[in-house]
Each structure stands twice: as structure tokens, then as C-alpha cells.
């Protein structure tokens, strides 16, 4: 009998996509599903970058350089300069989405059996990439009561061992929307220097900061050799399907090692690089409208969630995600129930169970992630559905009664 590898068995399912069959079944029954489960923006992709692909000035779609077209890398140098990041084109490696940039970081900087520290809840696919690389994830818990602020540095110190090689952060954060402060970034800098660790910085959402200052890991003076920046155009320009990212580092040894992995996969997507070049030429004002739209959506979503009995949602400082605590027994069961058994006016809502964003087993059982990537009318309708669902869910935890009993 053919067998599956142990690594294949250990690969975790996506908490974002594992409920897709239930959503498809609901749609076949005529139920409208509001997708708040996945960060797929409904903002239109800029026509200028689509036109660049529709009418490319090329005769043959060739392999690019394994690092990506030099013309695109030089354009990215200009883009990064605008956000205060000084790099040259030989410190940028173009990847197939931000996902490949993250994998290159694991493959390049860690050996099988090494450990990477990640504040949880974290982007679920970090687990998958770590599994593929044979790396062990060590979670450090951030808490909803603090809005998912960076855990105390003492918590990091407690778990650092001889096998610890890196810390991963995402700011603004997916899945919490938390935006790390200058002080928090400086604290990470100090611990990385003290213990000689890499700092992997996932900066997919830097354009969407609403409250506070955007601080890149690349802004941290004295940490240049430690930082690996992972980037993507997916969310920035609402171009998730382009699958175009970047691996950026000033550490030449790391870059050279990553280049070997890049050569093994030949080259990044050719047409997407044409899109990427056109995107850099968009006016700086391009981001004003989508940022204002996301801010309006955030404010509406958080307001409506916090108005529901037993629900708590901290205000996210950036990106387009929020995690909410619900009065439920089990978020995985609840999210499946929403699709299998519930509908309100032939409508329901699809959420991402938060358990899949935690590395610590048992955490996130009463939390869900919501992506405010739908328009205001859809968010209104989706949250109306959620409120009705919480009233009807058989596993609802009646917090009001618990409080009453404890007061007797």
C-alpha cells in the first residue's frame, strides 16, 4: 500500500478554507453566504495594472532572472524608499506570492528541528510553512483583553533555547489587525540582538494603518543583518491572484542562500511582474480611497459586534481583520453550524474559527476572525445574520445567567 509521509500527515488544514465545502453546499440550497472568512478584498484591482498585462510589449513570455526582472526590482527600490526603507535591487528577490518569501525564510535561516517564536494568534499558514521546513513553532500568547499587543519580552525569554533561531511578526497583523508600536519593535530588536535571532517581518498590510505609526523591521537601526522582510502585492493592490511577493534582506549570506532556492524553482511569475511594475507607477494618492473605505468598514464592524450581547471585539489598528470573542462553546462547531443549519432571510455568514490561528491547543475556542473585505451594505447584512445566529445557536453560552448565578 502506498503511504503518506509523516510530514504530509502533520500538515495542518487551513482554518480559512476548510469550511469551503459547507459554504458551497449552502449556496446550492439557495442561501447567500457573506464571506468574512478570507482576506479577499472586493476593492477593484487598479485598471492600470490590469491594462499592463492585457497589452504587454513582449513577443515571448520568457523565464525571468531567478531573482525577478531587474527592471521590477529597481522599481521596488523606489517604492521602498517612499516608505523609509533603503535597499538596493540586489537585496530584493521576487517570489511567487508572499507565501514563497516566507518559505524561503524558513528554508534559508532554519534547520529541521530548529524553533521559531511567533506571537499568537498568528497567520495560520506559518504552521504549514514550518511543517514543510521541519521547523517547530513556539507560540507566545497575546490576549484579546489587551487588543493582542505584543506579549511581555519576559515571555519570549522563557522559551528561548539553543534551538531558537528566529521570531516572526506580522504588522499590521493578520489575524488580529494589531499594529506594533515603536516601543514594541524596539523591544523585539533588543531580544534579537541579545540572542542572535533572525526577525522575519511579514509586512503585507503596511499601507493600511489607521491608528498609530507604521514601523518596519527595516527601520530598526543596528538590526540590518537580522531582518528578513516578506512582502506581497496581493492586499496592497487587491491583486491576490497575481501571486507576486518579495523576499528582502541586507544579509548577503541569507540572500545568496535564498537565491539557490529561487533558482531551483526557476523564476517568479512573468505576467505578474509586469503588473508589479505598473503598480509602482500608480500615484501615491491611490491608497487614499481604499484606506478610507477599510476604515469605514472597520468602524462599522467593530461597532456592531460590540453592540451584540456577550460579544467583545478590540479595535484593530490596521490591515482588514478583527478577532471577536463570542458567547459560544466551540468556534469550529459554530462556524460549521452557520453554514449547515442556519440561515436568516436565506442568508448566512462565513467566519474563520480562531482555533486555527493559535499554536497552543485549546486557545481561541470562543473566538473568530472576521475580514472586513465586503462593502458596508454587506457588512450590515452579515452582522445582522451573525446577531440572529448567536441568538439561535444551541451552544450559546448564556453569560448573563452565569453572572447572575455568581452574584447570588
Q: For residue 204, which of 248, 147, 156, 264 has the smallest C-alpha distance?
A: 248
According to the model, what pLDDT value does residue 8 have? 80
* 312 strand-pairing partners: 325
* Fold that domain 47-281 belongs to in CATH: 3.40.640
Residue 250 grid cell: 541586507
pLDDT of 59 above 70: yes
According to the model, what pLDDT value does residue 10 have? 81
Q: List the strands of the sheet with 136-141, edge to edge.
A: 92-95, 245-248, 227-232, 198-202, 164-170, 115-120, 136-141
Residues whose CB is less than 8 angstroms from the CB of residue 195 and which lie 6 or more positions away in sequence, other chains included: 160, 164
Residue 95 grid cell: 517570489
Give the model confidence (pLDDT) of 202-245 as tens digits: 999 999 999 999 999 999 999 999 999 999 999 999 999 999 99
Q: What contacts 24+ positions apart, CB below 8 Å, involve 374-380?
A: 374/34, 374/35, 374/36, 374/42, 374/297, 375/42, 375/297, 376/296, 376/297, 376/300, 378/34, 379/36, 379/297, 379/300, 379/301, 379/304, 380/300, 380/304
Domain ranges for the chain: 6-44+287-402, 47-281
Distance set, CA 147 to CA 1, 4, 141, 151, 322 (Å): 50, 40, 12, 11, 10
Match 532554519 to its residue by C-alpha cell. Answer: 110
Phi then psi for 117, rounded to 5 degrees? -95, 135
d(CA 222, CA 192): 11
Give the model confidence (pLDDT) of 250-281 as tens digits: 999 999 999 999 999 999 999 999 999 999 99
- Please check whether the two domains, 6-44+287-402 and 47-281, share a CATH topology: no
106: exposed, middle or buried (C-beta count within 10 Å: 0-12, 13-18, 19+)?
buried
Give the model confidence (pLDDT) of 102-116 as tens digits: 999 999 999 999 999
Residue 165 parent element (H or E) = strand 164-170
pTM over 0.85: yes
pLDDT of 30 above 50: yes
- End-to-end, the C-alpha distance of the chain in Å comes to 62
Question: How many Cα atoms occupy the beta-carbon half-sphere of 188 within 13 Å?
Answer: 30
If you write DSSP's letter for every residue of 83-129 in order, what string do you get?
TT----GGGEEEESHHHHHHHHHHHHH--TT-EEEEEES--THHHHH
Residue 336 grid cell: 460549521
pLDDT of 152 above 50: yes
pLDDT mean over 42-58: 95
Residue 324 parent element (H or E) = strand 321-325
* 6-44+287-402 is a CATH 1.10.260.40 domain: no
Report the 10 Å Cβ neighbour count for 72: 27
Residue 383 parent element (H or E) = helix 376-392
Amino acid at each position: 500500500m502506498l503511504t503518506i509521509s509523516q510530514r504530509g500527515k502533520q500538515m495542518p488544514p487551513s482554518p480559512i478554507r476548510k469550511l469551503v465545502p459547507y459554504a458551497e453546499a449552502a449556496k446550492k440550497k439557495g442561501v447567500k453566504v457573506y464571506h468574512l472568512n478570507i482576506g479577499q478584498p472586493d476593492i477593484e484591482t487598479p485598471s492600470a495594472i490590469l491594462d499592463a498585462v492585457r497589452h504587454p510589449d513582449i513577443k515571448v513570455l520568457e523565464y525571468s532572472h531567478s531573482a525577478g526582472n531587474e527592471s521590477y526590482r529597481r522599481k521596488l527600490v523606489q517604492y521602498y524608499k517612499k516608505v523609509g526603507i533603503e535597499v538596493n535591487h540586489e537585496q530584493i528577490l521576487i517570489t511567487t506570492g508572499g507565501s514563497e518569501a516566507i518559505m524561503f525564510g524558513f528554508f534559508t535561516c532554519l534547520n529541521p528541528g530548529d524553533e521559531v517564536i511567533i506571537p499568537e494568534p498568528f497567520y495560520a499558514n506559518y504552521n504549514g510553512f514550518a511543517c514543510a521546513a521541519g521547523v517547530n513553532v513556539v507560540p507566545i500568547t497575546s490576549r484579546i483583553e489587551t487588543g493582542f499587543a505584543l506579549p511581555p519580552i519576559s515571555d519570549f525569554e522563557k522559551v528561548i533555547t539553543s534551538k531558537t533561531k528566529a521570531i516572526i511578526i506580522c504588522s499590521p497583523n493578520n489575524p488580529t489587525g494589531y499594529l506594533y508600536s515603536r516601543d514594541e519593535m524596539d523591544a523585539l530588536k533588543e531580544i534579537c540582538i541579545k540572542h542572535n535571532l533572525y526577525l522575519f517581518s511579514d509586512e503585507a498590510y503596511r499601507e493600511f494603518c489607521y491608528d498609530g505609526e507604521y514601523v518596519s523591521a527595516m527601520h530598526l537601526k543596528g538590526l540590518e543583518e537580522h531582518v528578513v522582510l516578506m512582502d506581497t502585492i496581493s492586499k496592497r493592490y487587491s491583486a491576490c491572484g497575481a501571486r507576486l511577493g518579495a523576499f528582502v534582506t541586507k544579509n548577503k549570506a541569507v540572500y545568496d542562500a535564498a537565491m539557490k532556492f529561487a533558482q531551483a524553482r526557476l523564476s517568479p511569475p512573468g505576467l505578474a511582474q509586469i503588473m508589479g511594475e505598473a503598480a509602482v507607477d500608480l500615484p501615491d494618492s491611490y491608497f487614499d480611497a481604499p484606506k478610507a473605505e477599510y476604515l469605514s468598514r472597520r468602524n462599522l464592524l467593530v461597532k456592531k459586534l460590540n453592540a451584540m450581547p456577550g460579544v467583545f471585539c478590540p479595535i484593530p489598528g490596521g490591515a482588514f481583520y478583527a478577532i471577536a470573542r463570542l458567547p459560544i462553546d466551540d468556534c469550529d462547531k459554530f462556524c460549521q453550524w452557520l453554514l449547515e443549519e442556519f440561515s436568516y432571510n436565506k442568508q448566512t455568514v462565513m467566519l474563520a474559527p480562531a482555533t486555527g490561528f493559535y499554536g497552543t491547543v485549546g486557545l481561541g475556542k470562543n473566538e473568530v476572525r472576521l475580514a472586513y473585505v465586503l462593502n458596508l451594505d454587506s457588512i450590515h447584512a452579515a452582522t445582522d445574520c451573525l446577531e440572529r445566529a448567536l441568538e439561535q445557536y444551541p451552544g450559546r453560552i448564556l453569560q448573563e445567567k452565569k453572572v447572575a448565578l455568581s452574584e447570588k
